[in-house]
A and B are shown apart, each in its own frame.
Chain A
Amino acid sequence: MFKHLFFFELRYRFKRVSTYIYFGIFFLLGFGAIYRGSFGGGPMKFIATAGVGNININSPYALYYLITVMSHFGLLVTIAFFGNAAYRDFKENTYVLNFSYPITKAEYLSSKFIAAAVSTMFVFSGIGIGAFLTSLSPVVNPEKIGPINLFAYIQPYLTGVFPNVLFAGALFFTLALLTRKFFPVYTGMIGLVVWFGVGTSLARTQGRLLASLIDPFGQLAARGFSDYWTAAQKNTFMIPLAGNFLFNRLLWVALAVGLLVFVHHKFRFSHIIESKKQKQGPREQKARDGSETFSLAGKNPKVRQLFHFKSYLRQMFATSLIEFRGLVKNVYFLIICLLGTGFIFLLGFRNVGLVRGTQTLSVTFQVLDTTKNTLYLFSLIIILFCSGELVWRERKKRVQEIYDVLPIPEWVPFMGKLGAIMYVQVLIAFLVFVSGIAIQLMHGYTHLELGLYMQELFGIRLVYTLILSVVAMFFQVIVNKKFLGYVLMMLFVDDFFPSIGLEHHLWRMGKTPEYIYSEMNKYGPYLKAILFYNLYWIVFAVVLVVISLLLWVRGNDTRFRDRIKAFRARTTKAKMRTATAGVLGCLLFGSFIIYNTNILNTFESTKHVEKMKVEYEMRFKRYESIPQPRVTDINMSVDIFPYKRKLHSQGRMVLKNKTGLKITEVFIQIPIKAQIKLLNLDVPFVLKESAEEHGVCIYTLNTPLRPGQEMVLDFDFELSEKGFKNNRANRNLVKNGTFIYLFDLSPAISYDPYSLSELDDNDKRKKYGLPPRKRIASIDDEKAKMNTFAKDADWINFEAVVSTSKDQIALSPGELINEWVEGERRYFHYKTQDKILKYFACLSARYHVKKDRWQDTGIEIYYHPGHEYNIDMMIKGVKKSLEYFTKNFSPYQYQTVKIVEFPRYELYAEAFPNLIPFSEGYGFIAKFDDSKVEYVFRVTAHEVGHQWWAHQVIGAYVEGQFILTETMAQYSALMVIKKEYDQKKIDDYIKIKMDEYLRGRAREREEEVPLIRSNLDVPYVNYEKSIVVMNALQDYIGEDNLNRALQTFIQKYAFQGPPYVTADEFLRYLREATPNDLQYIITDMFETITLYENRALQATYQEMENGKYLVKLKFEAQKFRADGTGRETPIEMNDSILFGIYGPEDEVLYRNKQWVHSGENELTFVVDKSPKKAGIDPHYFLIDKNTDDNFVNVVRSKEEIHLDY
């Protein structure tokens, strides 16, 4: 019997075209991911960073995530198959007859369940098969295809997809069977997604074990393995079925089995028969008793029937209300809403504006921002399901023949249903609004901006959901298959068009360009774009509505041919007019958008940008080697017109020939969009070549500039922002919060091979026939040593008069020597006393200022009124930094430290000479968190540190340059925070940085380098590894000893000219300060990539006769060297490692270094008090692949411990 039922089910599924369409879709997804991925495009970059750099597109790692992530998208198929398998019998009573046969419950349930599982797995197999065949085929880029390992395509199904299908399937199956409804299945799916979200959110803050267990898909547990995998490891390792991942799989499969046992226990065949029986309930008897005959009394009362627009409109509203009521009366729908808002609330509550693990204050836009993606996903799913449920509602309940003959036009039900979906969206917006307010109040934040809530939730986002709703309804109507409609909607709605190269937002179904709200600048540069895109999408939606109406299924002819016939018959003048108006509207708004994005601005598609870079390089690379003069003085006046979004810059630069050769040509780089009024040398010249689109101008001097000779470059240009762009709005020149870098303020000289103007992705360079590009010049490149990161200047004299609107303050590096108002303009005159690096910027906004002093140094904080929260923390940071740095390094070279807020378009802080722009979202609204190292304080110290480590000592722009800037700024900040925070917080902080370093190197595409060879593209080395290493170094060789070495180094190299110092020289100073037996740590930490795997295994203690305690610690130590791709080789060690024994209150009982060999070891210690915890490397000095196992609890020994000494 089982066989019969099973094949019956299977046949049912495999007779349907949709099954093959799903398979086809997944096959294509598999194909697309591998095909496009092998050329560095498509979704694989995001799913698994594969196909770029060293990670093969078909590496076991990439395949695992490709196949499992795609199958999450396929949850809709799981729902369709399992939900329907369980639900179909209630709907159609197809099996009622079968129940007279001797079927057991187990046969009935298992046949359905297994058939659904087989069908679902069949559909999902499309991804793997697609991926496999594509990997073998000649269409892919063979360089990104590693050795083909068939099992790597199968394994993700065994450990990932299949258990997931089992659990999700069991859940949906149970819900449909026990409730006899379909809607609960949706609830189940959303529950699952929310549950997953909770897991992800927990993973960020809680222990990894918990997070990896509660994730029903096993993704977090799998990531637990692969997060630290380097490229080499990703290419060879498979996610092992072990550890947390194994527990996770066992747990969820067990839960699936549990659910099935439960449903077997609860389910009765009578469930199905009952649902049929209902039709002949006992109530009929009673009703019949009510009266004798059909009452013939009375004539049908005369009524007026109105058939005009106004009454249709009324019918539409009535329909929408009824449909809405139908939805919200559904308890499962309410559960969905509660789950969704609950999740949004939880997320908002815990993660407001999370930056590096610290929340921001619950400022309204941060709360809204935090909920944005979740709300979007949640709205999308609800829209999806509502569209399916509502479009199919009549047919599901078999009342369509009653409705279809009603004298109403098609738009009444269509718009009515759309309206119902919109009411739901308004309801959700309202729930989010309430939760947002609740979050703010619970966080003790009372500055509620109701207007902003309205604009965001009931304005911008509601329009988007409206368009999504129309699109969802459109797909349901057009495809006329519920689940296929869902799948197509999910495919098309988001990133489909960009993934095939159509990047313009005009393609992106309802999307407006991403925008960032700033309290300083409100919606600022985005507002116009949002407005016009919304208008465009609304008229687009109108067209979709008309098409949907024409194809709306009414009556019994559902074949597409019949519907096309109906389409023609229904085409009325009114509809034609509406559609025409819609199309014209699309053209109108579309043209206006294109005018803005492509004519007023440049439409920068990925391709376009690549081509421009290639062209730039091909055309101008030859100028790289010609001798160029260097800037020695800049004197300029910058007029910022913030409200006109315009800038006028004029000035003069002194250029000097510092080479030994004659200079005949000058390569000048100017802002690309600038309107140049003047670009003149004070010596005779002719224009040799200019390329406006690249901002390049090359002059030939009539008389060559001889070595040592100077000339003056006068410049005068205007920059202005016009219209809006497709993607990133230009947000440098804005109404409040202008922040402009030097390259938009003044010309630069010479071709810069390391600027962003060259294409840097080596895969792409190859495609364009360009030679591979080094990330940075070699340390042996003598020519490169003549430059810092400024390629056209050494230390310069800098003077600027910056003017802005009267109500704003304008800033630039240097000391303010004069300030005045002239008409509606306010002028600020800045000048540096000593020479500075050629690195400056201008800022302007309506600032408030807080001033303070440390000894003779002024401290000034320029902030947006209302953002006073962390100013004192910043001032404290500046003071503590100045104190430590002046004592241990050298004097501070300027008279003031200025910290200036800029809008949260970017989240960072940066150090210019005595000027530190600090992002609104990064520091100014950060929430003070006492439990950990405060990042506002730390970042302040880091940026002040740069005033020494960049603005006093600067290295040549060759490999290792960053050791003298970022590594040392990190060290500086570390020493300041170490004085402020207790050891525990520092340990936690270092542990996090270690984790970030290990994750960072795992994402490396090309080559990880040791610190001494660092470059701009390895931030995880420059920041995270640096702080871990410096923390170790200062402990191993001693803080004072290290600082003395740094002091000597600064004395020798501060403000030095070319050739600039390199990392090798710096390392020589460090080596000198390091004792002989510790020289190896310099090699390990700076010159190589060295990792440890240190683990405490077991610790026991025993009381001794003298009242002391004898502790025995078993541990394992291993040391590895890794190459640039992450291939690891174990090496022998005899290293000094710190050990710690701690008492019940975490007090230190023992802390000392011991020399340790690799392998399993045992050490004994004598301590004064009863020990609780023992650990190897307790402060995380060494780069350890797993820092979670460094400690063990000390237990009382069962056997005698023998002292070894």
Chain B
Amino acid sequence: MELKIKKLSKTYPNGIQALKKVNLNIQKGMFGLLGPNGAGKSTLMRTIATLQEADEGSIHLNGIDVLKDKNTVRQILGYLPQDFGVYPEVTAEQMLNHLALLKGIADKKERGETVKYVLKQTNLYEARKRKLGGYSGGMRQRFGIAQALIGNPKLIIVDEPTAGLDPEGRRRFHNLLSDISENIIVILSTHIVDDVEQLCSQMAIINKGEILLTSKPEEAIQNLEGQVWEKIIKKQEYDNYRNQYQIVLTRLFAGDMVIHVRSDNQPHEFSKITPDLEDVYFTTIQRDLLPTP
């Protein structure tokens, strides 16, 4: 199982270049695509999910030309869109059953089993007879996951899946994803670093249509070892520090401000910390944001 993306570019009619020569190799397992809003994540996800054309470049999934042979990809695809609605007047079970039929599961019994399985997996079994219009945001999100799971997909694309979920829901969702990602490719796009940190064996950071980093999360963290320093400051002091240091991230803490800076040497009054993926993320993004000195 391998997904190869080569020199994928896309420019929208309004001039925004959503993807700039993106190259990615994605193996079996969970792959996290991390980036801020508007970075091009969804464009990339949709392009892989056959919803959008690219201007140039190619995507191959185990030899299938994704951009050309869309229907073959669709046969093994599970896709959870970033933003979707439901038919309010239909029950979850009816809807999933219909989608299962459209995914080619012709046998009624098999369809019933699959639907039951995905309902249980997403903890919607109890609510299966309820109309989707009455579902809460979290339940709708889980319904979205349920439909993506139908029919043994080999490639699952989930675009910002935890956006509507509470912490508990997110935890459950993570468990589920890691469980199914054993033998298949799961691409998870998110702007939440935790999601990737907890789940993904591989990751990429994207911003402004460009892949800034591809790596295993732990390797990326390792590379940053000894370069991130922390200090608690007063809010008023922030401007001073900003001029002096390359601030990676800021966090409020009991009314004061915690700042992480990147530096090869330990700056005065800063303490050393073990970097985490968030530091990696923001360092990577900032390299892109800040004018390189």
Which residues of B97-114 are within 8 A (CB) of A? 98-99, 101-107, 110-111, 113-114
Binary CB contact string for chain B from 132 to 165 against chain A (1 if under 8 A, 0 otherwise) = 0111111110001001010110000000000000
Contacts of B46 in A (CB 8 A): 401, 555-556
Q: B117 CB to closest chain A CB, in angstroms?
A: 6
**CB of B202 within 8 A of chain A?**
no
B53 touches A557 (CB 8 A): yes
B74 touches A304 (CB 8 A): no
A300 touches B137 (CB 8 A): no
A281→B132 CA distance, assembly (Å): 12
| Given A281-B134, A304-B105, A296-B179 contact (CB < 8 Å) | yes
A555→B42 CA distance, assembly (Å): 13
| Given A401-B79, A402-B79, A557-B53, A305-B151 contact (CB < 8 Å) | yes
Q: B22 CB to closest chain A CB, in angstroms?
A: 17
A302's closest neighbor in chain B, by CB? Answer: B152
B85 touches A398 (CB 8 A): yes
Binary CB contact string for chain A from 366 to 405 against chain B (1 if under 8 A, 0 otherwise) = 0000000000000000000000000000000111011111
B104 touches A291 (CB 8 A): no
A301 touches B114 (CB 8 A): yes
Q: B185 CB to closest chain A CB, in angstroms?
A: 15
Contact partner, B87, options A297, A300, A326, A566, Cβ 8 Å: A326
A397→B77 CA distance, assembly (Å): 22
**CB of B173 within 8 A of chain A?**
yes
Contact partner, A318, options B49, B98, B169, Cβ 8 Å: B98
**CB of A295 within 8 A of chain B?**
yes
Contact partner, B84, options A281, A302, A402, A566, Cβ 8 Å: A402
B173 touches A294 (CB 8 A): yes
Listed stretches B28-36, B122-130, B226-234, B278-286; interface member: B122-130
Contacts of A326 in B (CB 8 A): 87, 89-90
B94's closest neighbor in chain A, by CB? Answer: A322
Contacts of B102 in A (CB 8 A): 315, 318-319, 403, 406-408, 412
B87 touches A306 (CB 8 A): no
A302→B150 CA distance, assembly (Å): 11
Contacts of A406 in B (CB 8 A): 74, 99, 102-103
**CB of A559 within 8 A of chain B?**
yes
A399→B51 CA distance, assembly (Å): 13
**CB of A619 within 8 A of chain B?**
no
**CB of B274 within 8 A of chain A?**
no
Contacts of B86 in A (CB 8 A): 397, 399
A281→B137 CA distance, assembly (Å): 8
Contacts of B71 in A (CB 8 A): 307, 407, 409
A402→B87 CA distance, assembly (Å): 12
Listed stretches A17-25, A38-46, A282-290; interface member: A282-290
A298→B122 CA distance, assembly (Å): 13
A307→B105 CA distance, assembly (Å): 9
Contacts of A1040 in B (CB 8 A): none
A402→B169 CA distance, assembly (Å): 22
Q: B155 CB to closest chain A CB, in angstroms?
A: 11
A303 touches B152 (CB 8 A): yes
Binary CB contact string for chain A from 302 to 345 against chain B (1 if under 8 A, 0 otherwise) = 11111100010011001100100010010000000000000000
**CB of A818 within 8 A of chain B?**
no
Contacts of B134 in A (CB 8 A): 281, 283
**CB of A931 within 8 A of chain B?**
no
Q: A560 CB to closest chain B CB, in angstroms?
A: 11
**CB of A1152 within 8 A of chain B?**
no
A403→B49 CA distance, assembly (Å): 12
Most chain B Cβ neighbours within 10 Å, of A287, A304, A398, A403: A287
B98's closest neighbor in chain A, by CB? Answer: A322
Contacts of A566 in B (CB 8 A): 53
**CB of A569 within 8 A of chain B?**
yes
**CB of A562 within 8 A of chain B?**
yes
**CB of B263 within 8 A of chain A?**
no
Contacts of B124 in A (CB 8 A): 287
Most chain B Cβ neighbours within 10 Å, of A301, A302, A306: A301
Q: A303 CB to closest chain B CB, in angstroms?
A: 4
**CB of B251 within 8 A of chain A?**
no
B81's closest neighbor in chain A, by CB? Answer: A401
**CB of B215 within 8 A of chain A?**
no
Binary CB contact string for chain B from 251 to 286 against chain A (1 if under 8 A, 0 otherwise) = 000000000000000000000000000000000000
Contacts of A555 in B (CB 8 A): 46, 50-53
A318→B86 CA distance, assembly (Å): 18
| Given A293-B175, A399-B86, A406-B74, A305-B51 contact (CB < 8 Å) | no
A556 touches B147 (CB 8 A): no
A314 touches B106 (CB 8 A): yes
Contacts of B237 in A (CB 8 A): none
B107 touches A304 (CB 8 A): yes
A397 touches B74 (CB 8 A): no
B104 touches A399 (CB 8 A): no
Contacts of B52 in A (CB 8 A): 555-557
A311 touches B74 (CB 8 A): no
Binary CB contact string for chain B from 160 to 196 against chain A (1 if under 8 A, 0 otherwise) = 0000000011001101100110000000000000000
A311→B75 CA distance, assembly (Å): 13
A404→B77 CA distance, assembly (Å): 12
B137 touches A280 (CB 8 A): yes
A329→B114 CA distance, assembly (Å): 27
Contacts of B139 in A (CB 8 A): 283-284, 287
Contacts of A978 in B (CB 8 A): none
Contacts of B151 in A (CB 8 A): 303, 305
Q: B42 CB to closest chain A CB, in angstroms?
A: 9
**CB of B120 within 8 A of chain A?**
yes
A289's closest neighbor in chain B, by CB? Answer: B126
**CB of B121 within 8 A of chain A?**
yes
A402→B145 CA distance, assembly (Å): 11
Q: B44 CB to closest chain A CB, in angstroms?
A: 13
B50 touches A295 (CB 8 A): no
Which residues of A518-563 are within 8 A (CB) of B? 554-557, 559, 562
Contacts of A557 in B (CB 8 A): 52-53
Contacts of B114 in A (CB 8 A): 300-301, 303
Which residues of A132-189 are within 8 A (CB) of B? none
| Given A284-B138, A555-B50, A569-B68, A402-B113 contact (CB < 8 Å) | no
| Given A406-B102, A409-B71, A294-B176 contact (CB < 8 Å) | yes
**CB of A265 within 8 A of chain B?**
no
Q: B221 CB to closest chain A CB, in angstroms?
A: 28
A1131→B51 CA distance, assembly (Å): 81
Q: B82 CB to closest chain A CB, in angstroms?
A: 8
Contacts of A556 in B (CB 8 A): 46, 51-52
B110 touches A300 (CB 8 A): no
B53 touches A281 (CB 8 A): no
**CB of B239 within 8 A of chain A?**
no
B46's closest neighbor in chain A, by CB? Answer: A556
**CB of B13 within 8 A of chain A?**
yes
**CB of A15 within 8 A of chain B?**
no
Contacts of B77 in A (CB 8 A): 405, 407
Contacts of B106 in A (CB 8 A): 304, 306, 311, 314
Contacts of A407 in B (CB 8 A): 71, 74-75, 77, 102-104
A193→B152 CA distance, assembly (Å): 52
| Given A287-B139, A318-B98, A402-B84, A294-B123 contact (CB < 8 Å) | yes
Contacts of A301 in B (CB 8 A): 110, 113-114, 117
Contacts of B130 in A (CB 8 A): 283
**CB of A607 within 8 A of chain B?**
no
Contacts of B68 in A (CB 8 A): 569
11 A-B interface contacts by CB (under 8 A): A278-B133, A287-B136, A290-B123, A300-B152, A304-B106, A305-B105, A305-B152, A399-B85, A405-B77, A555-B51, A566-B53
Q: Which 8 A-B pairs have the closest CB atoms?
A: A398-B85, A284-B136, A401-B81, A305-B104, A555-B51, A407-B74, A294-B172, A407-B75
Q: Given A284-B137, A326-B87, A401-B81, 11 more contacts at CB 8 Å? A: A278-B133, A281-B136, A283-B127, A287-B124, A287-B136, A301-B114, A399-B84, A405-B74, A407-B102, A407-B103, A562-B53
